[in-house]
Amino acid sequence: MPSPRYAREIPTRYRLEAARCSDCGKVNYPARRICPSCRGVDFEKLTLSRKAKVITSTVVHVPPDDFLMEAPYAMAVVETPEGARFMTQVVDCDPSTVLPGMDVDLEFRLIRKEGNSGILCYGHKGVPAA
């Protein structure tokens, strides 16, 4: 990933910054310029709480090259108490136990090392709720 793009995504990935639509209240994560539910353009910044619930999940056995060493790993769509939904890995547990309804905490982790230059890409991963 080109480093300008990586830098641009830091608020989203490092700080879990979302945007609440001032018109309809929908929480958009990552932030958008236009709200997909009401097309409003005014937002207030919001930091997501670091906990979420699994909506649906899978265990990836055949991964992309960058994740070869990690397979099999669990991935899930999770929802935070603010109503933001996003994709994340769920780690530090048997991946087959990551099922809809599971509570997770979100922790700052290394996500991937990219390309030959090995840029370290960070973000959040789910772990079983404490």
Catalogue the long-range contacts made by 108-115 (C-beta closer than 8 Å, 24 or more residues apart).
Answer: 108/14, 111/13, 112/66, 112/67, 113/66, 114/1, 114/66
Region of 16-24, 38-46, 64-72 interacting with another protein (CB under 8 A): 64-72
- State the minimum distance, in angstroms, from the CB of residue 96 to another protein: 7
Of 30 and 128, CB closest to another protein:
30
30 binds another protein (CB under 8 A): yes
What value, to the nearest 5°, has the Cα angle with vertex 130 and ends 17 and 92? 85
29 φψ region: left (φ > 0), alpha (ψ -120 to 50), beta (else): beta
Kindly tell me which residue out of 18, 27, 80, 88 binds another protein, with binding defined by CB under 8 A.
88
Q: Which of 46, 93, 111, 127: binder of another protein (CB under 8 A)?
A: 111
127 binds another protein, rule: CB under 8 A: no
The least CB distance from residue 104 to another protein, in Å, is: 14
20 lies in the binding site for another protein (CB under 8 A):
no
Q: Give the pairing type, strands 51-60 and 73-79.
A: antiparallel
The one-letter code for the residue type at 125 is K
Pick the binder of another protein from 46, 77, 93, 127 (CB under 8 A): 77
